[in-house]
Chains A and B, each alone.
Chain A
């Protein structure tokens, strides 16, 4: 069974640029969630995709957007990068859409640095 994978591992971008991060979910999982983790903080929920549609969003501006594909893999896009966007971006896959009882399986994350 393949776990959650993310690419790239590290990324350096300049303020104002755009970035796309990618996530492959664990086999059989139909739901993908994205989190942002600043240094020394717990992960913060960005949004979740279930069956190719966004079905939940945290307190993040519209310049954070995403996609889910028919194979349940997902992308996180961030436009107009700001210095505060520097963080570890985590992808998690699970079953069940908005069901609150299924555990989420996390990838290793993408470390984004904005200069």
Chain B
């Protein structure tokens, strides 16, 4: 499986936008980019996924570079509840039953 690289930690102020980067330089053409997050003492939670085009949902936006070697998860207005570990994961149809979580980015949100 192609690997992803994320910063270990990031910090943001409440109500400001947060841009969480992910590098995946060995991504293949069929790999989907998924993001999950894990709040303290909870199981991981699906956030968003995309293939080539930018994606938006009620939780976040996903911006995918034109060459697909990197992507950015955007939280438009961080809240204290967004403090979590964010995981960027590549998934390939028909071959990827496992989520390979890696270490993720620990996001701290301060009031």
Contact = CB atoms under 8 A, between A and B. Distances in A.
Interface residues of B, number: 24
B103 A48 contact: no
Given A92-B43, A106-B43, A109-B43, A101 B93 contact: yes
Given A42-B87, A42-B102, A100 B96 contact: yes
Given A42-B102, A42-B103, A55 B43 contact: no
A108 B42 CA distance: 5
A41 interface: yes
A16 interface: no
A82 B103 CA distance: 24
A2 interface: no
A58 B96 CA distance: 11
Contacts of A108: 42-43
Contacts of A107: 43
Looking at chain A's contact residues, the main secondary structure is loop
Most central of A42, A100, A106 by chain B CB within 10 Å: A100
Interface of A: 4, 31, 33, 35, 41-45, 48, 55-56, 58, 90, 92, 97-101, 103-109
11 contacts: A35-B99, A92-B99, A98-B97, A100-B92, A100-B95, A103-B34, A104-B44, A106-B44, A108-B42, A108-B43, A109-B43
